[in-house]
Every structure is written in C-alpha cells, then in structure tokens.
Structure 1
C-alpha cells in the first residue's frame, strides 16, 4: 500500500489527513472510503489497520484529524465542534471526489461512535456516498444520563462569562471519575490506543458538552437510502443499540452485526472480527 500525507481546509483551518492507496497503477481509478476518529480521538487510533486491510482489497482510504485535534490546525485545542466536524466529513468527500485516482461513483464512508454518527449524517445528505458502515454509532444522548457533569458545566460557563479560561476534563476516565466517558472500558481502551498515537490528548473542553446534549443524528438516519452496515454492542451504555435500531427502523435492508460486549470492549474482545467484517462489507459494496 501507499500512504500519502495531505491536507485540506475546513473553515480556514488546515486539516491533516492520510490517504492510503492500493499499490499498482492498474487499479486506478479505485473505489475509496473516508473516515475520522471517534470521540476526542486522532487518526492514528484504530483506523490504520482498517486502511491497510481496505488497501489490500483494492480500496483507498482518506482519514483525517478534526480541527483542533491531532495534527490538524486550530487555535482552540480539544474543543468538539460537532457542526464543524460534520463539515470536515463533507470536505473529505470533496477531496476524494476530485482526485483522478479515485472512482467518484464508488465512494463509501465509515465511522465509529461519534464519527459513526457523522458517517450516517453525510451518507444521508450526499448522493455521492454509496454506502455507510456505522460501528456503534452515536445517535443522541439523554440529558439525565450525564447529570454528574452538570456542576463542571456550570463552573465552566461562569468562568467564561467572566473572561477566565475555560475548563477541560478527561475524555475517558475510570468509573466514578468526572469524565465525558467513564464506563464500558473507556479508560483502558484510551490508554491502549494512545500507545501508537503521540498526538492524542485525553481531554476535551467542557464547553464542548452542552452542544452534545442537543446533537442528534436520528433524523438523518431515517433518510438513508444507501446500503447500511450497523455493528452494535448489546451491553453498550454510551451508544445503546436500542437507539441505533430505532433510528434505522425505517431504513430498508440494514445489515446488523451484534456482539454481547460493551462499547469499548467491542474493540478489545472482537477487534479483528469487527475490522474484517467491516472491510469485507465495504469492499463488496464498492465492487458492485
């Protein structure tokens, strides 16, 4: 496979990306997929193994860091701007669609957790996307489910009101700790993934959180008309499978793959199986 470092621009910010291509000019133009990390992650986490397997199957990949994360630019670091992240997905699609090495009629998107929600949204709105693989995708939060974060959200809002620096909290913590995710093996998984991701920082701005409580991909999911693969973890308390199934209930032909574990256990106990089934599905859909 061939790896190329590249950049594109979103809202005036330089976004760092990696294009992974299958070897051999005879395979060009080739099908392609695009993706980005899950919540607060960077492109060196989880994604490279998928890109390598896809390249072996003749499919190119474009993976990027969100503005403010990893190797991407952005003055405000570790701030999750969900509309901007979705615009980044659209921009990545534009990059692929205008690359002469890519078959613009065979482009798919995949994502995990938060990026799985973005993948659903962009696939629902842009006909250039021909298939979507959503692994434990984000649909929406329940406000009461994050009640323990209310005090820190209030403190952060008061600090910013008086022009003091905003607060950050860990993206992943142990059970009982104040963090955006403190269940389902979040802390252990983040430690493991961080070993190969020097740009990863286990923190997000507290100012990121209120908008997340209002964010939903439920309506977008209902508009999907392309082939959908949904991989779920039945004990997931972060992106519960019941929400995913409900959001996709009116979509024809959704292919479900289900595991009994929780959110992050999916990538520890079944990492290879999930990757292989996702790659196989994407390669098959883009070869049709």
Structure 2
C-alpha cells in the first residue's frame, strides 16, 4: 500500500511511504524508485541497528544507492519508529528477523524489481540480522553489513571492559524487565547509549555525543531529559547541534514512543522521526547468545563487511576473524569508532565502497 508520494530532493528519485505486514503489524518503510521508467531494477533492502529508526542517517545511504538507478526499501522494525506494535521500544531478535523476511517478501512483490538482483544492507545490530537472513535466503545477490554485531560473547567482553558497573546495572535491569514481562508490566527501558553510571547497552565518555550526530537537524529532546542534559555536563558534552534542548516542549506520551523515559525521548523535525534512547532491558540477557557471525559460511551471496577499528560495540578483530578463509566475504576496515562511519569523511569513504561493491554484484548476478 502506498501513501504520501513526493519528489525526493537531489536526484531523479521518488521516495514514498509504504507499509507491509509482519507478525500481524504494519512495518513503516520508505521506498525509493527512479523517476524515469525502465526495465527491472536491483533492490536494496535496508534496516538500522539497536533501537534506531530510519531517520538516523539511513536516508543518507539510501540516497546514494538510489542515485545508481536502484530501488531501495528502508524499514523500521515493529515496536519502533513509525511502525506498529505494542509495547513500544521492544526489541525481540526473532521478531526483527521476521521483519526482515517480511520486507524481502514485500520487496520481491513490487513491480519493477529484478528479483535476481536483491541485496540486504544492515548496520550494527541490523548488520548481524542481515548476515543471519542471508544465511537462509540463497536467492540474494549481495550482502552488506556495516559495523555488524557478529558475536555476542565478544561484544559482552568489550562492554565489560568499558564499564563493568554499568554492565551489572544493565543485567539487573534485564532481569527485572524479564520478570515484569511475565506479569504484563510495561518494559523497563535501558538506554541505548550512555555514560559509566547508566545501565546502557553502549557506554563511553563520548558515545552520547557521537550517536547524536545521526539525528536529523531540528530533533527536540523531551523536557525532563533536556533538563538533565543542561544540569549534567557529562550528558551534554559535545552534543550535536542537531539536537535542540530548548524550544517548544512536547509530551512524550503523545509521541510514537508513547511514554516518557529519563534516558531521552526524541521528536524529529516536522513531527516525524519519534524515537527514544531506550529499548527493553530484557534484550541484555539474550545478546550474549546471539552469534550471527557464525552464519558466514552458510551465506552464498558475495558479502561485504565494513568494520571500524576502534569499535567497542562490535569488535572489528572478531568480525575479521570470523570472515577469515571465506572466499565470498570481503572485509573493509576503517579508522574510527562505531558511530563514525555514519557521518563525515568516513561515511563518504564507506558509502563509495559499498556502492562499488553492490554495482559489481548486481552486474554479475545471473540468478
């Protein structure tokens, strides 16, 4: 079903809002299509990482791919962003994998798509999902996984080195959330990014500032969190100018997040891109068991892994080790941390490499 057609700036491409069903809920997506009619075209299916939504710089990558004349489908997982699903901010690995399967089925049904030339592109936690999906879907022409979460134990050990106290708080929150879920309680939200004293999934002195660069300009911070950022220098240090801590207040309960959280409710410009720096803490108990990098040998499509040398969330050396000896896997290594690859010169480098890789694979595809 199509809604809100509109000309996307900067290229002969139309971006429109579409929806597809997954698990009885509607997933929201953007569909980029060339403005000029043509023959069957390649399709790139894209999704974000841990708790993130499309507006957090996925449009920047999608625009570059669309400029090549490819179709691009960028979707939000259930329970997040503009997609349906309750309780909000729930991140269930099996549900998200089902969302990927539903997105691919939807993409293959679209008119104008060359079903022999479909690629998956995932980043961070979504990069791990892309590998898991590609290991079971052997009709794919290519796979791109950016800063992929490949090995739960490796990420756990890296996380413990960052801040063991914070990790203990996160595990405690995960246990509390899991027990509460048995009685129908609202999810206990743990921050996605934070500093040492927060029960966050990603922790460092600069993680909040680095992640804030992904937000679209004009993003507003909920009043309670805005006050905390103003009072605590460790939270507001080097925060991106994309984030407004003042301005007109809004009620978090009226956003797509549907509730307030001290960790941060975010409202994007023009009333869209509602998101939160928080997902259900129960995920912390499953992360160490998730090892999608082990699926690399099962993938038959050419695969590009883009890793950052200083990545503490998805250690580059672990991903490179898992890829070693796999002839169908290329590893591109970049100087930077987990969030650096989304912006600036590193983004330009990575997106050029990804575009060249996909162009080669789409040209070679004979499936």
Query: Shorter-chain TM-score category?
Result: over 0.9
Select the residue among 107, 111, 115 that pairs with 1:104.
115
**Equivalent residue, structure 1, for 2:298:** 223
2:318 corresponds, among 205, 223, 243, to 243
Which is higher, the Rg of structure 1 or of structure 2? Answer: 2
1:273 is aligned, of 337, 349, 367, to 349
Q: Quick check: 1:22 aligned with 2:34?
A: yes
Q: Residue 284 of structure 2 aligns to a residue in which SS? A: helix
Moved more, 41-50 or 142-151: 142-151
Q: Shift of the alpha carbon at 1:245?
A: 1.6
5+ residue gaps, structure 1: none
Q: Which residue number corresponds to residue 92 of structure 2? A: 81
CA–CA distance in structure 1, aligned partners of residues 184 and 83 of structure 2 = 26
- Measured in 2, the distance between the counterparts of 1:87 and 1:111 equals 14
Q: In 2 relative to 1, CA 266–175 (structure 1 residues): closer, same or farther, beyond 3 Å?
A: farther
Q: Deviation at 1:256?
A: 1.9
User: Does 2:127 match 1:51?
Assistant: no
Quick check: 1:177 aligned with 2:198?
A: yes
* Correspondence 1:152 to 2:164: no
Structure 1 partner of 2:18: 6
Aligned to 2:143: 132
Across the two proteins, how many residue pairs are aligned to each other?
Answer: 287
Tell me, yes or no, if the aligned pair for 2:131 and 2:292 is still in contact at 8 Å.
yes
Distance 1:160 1:130, change over 3 A: closer
Q: Which moved more, 1:128-137 or 1:252-261?
A: 252-261
> Aligned to 1:32, which of 31, 40, 43?
43
State which drifts further: 213-222 or 193-202.
Answer: 193-202
Structure 1 pair 184–32 and aligned structure 2 pair: CA distance change class (3 A): farther
Whole-angstrom distance in 1 between the partners of 2:197 and 2:295: 33
Q: 1:103-132: CA deviations, max 9, x gaps?
A: 001111111111111111111211221110
SS of equivalent to 1:153: helix
Residue by residue over 1:77-120, the C-alpha shift from the partner in whole angstroms, topping out at 9 and shown as x without a partner, is 11111111111111111111122210001111111111111111
Bigger shift: residues 126-135 or 63-72:
126-135
Partner SS, residue 125 of structure 1? coil
Q: Distance in 2 between matches of 1:195 and 1:52?
A: 15
TM-score for both structures, normalised by structure 2:
0.73
Over 3 Å counting, the alpha-carbon distance change for 1:125 and 1:280 in structure 2 is same
Matches within 5 A, 1:63-78: 63-78=74-89
8 Å Cα contact 1:169-1:179 kept in structure 2: yes
Instruction: Give TM-score scaled by structure 1 length.
Output: 0.92
Shift of 1:218: 2.7
Question: Offset of 1:287 from its aligned partner?
Answer: 2.2
Separation of aligned partners in 2, 1:15 and 1:157: 25
Residue 189 (structure 1) aligns with: 210
Quote the Cα distance in structure 1 between the aligned partners of 2:207 and 2:78: 23
Partner of 1:193, secondary structure, is coil
Distance in 1 of aligned mates of 2:136 and 2:180: 38
**What value does the CA root-mean-square deviation take over the aligned residues?**
2.0
Shift of the 67–184 alpha-carbon distance from structure 1 to 2, 3 Å rule, reads: farther
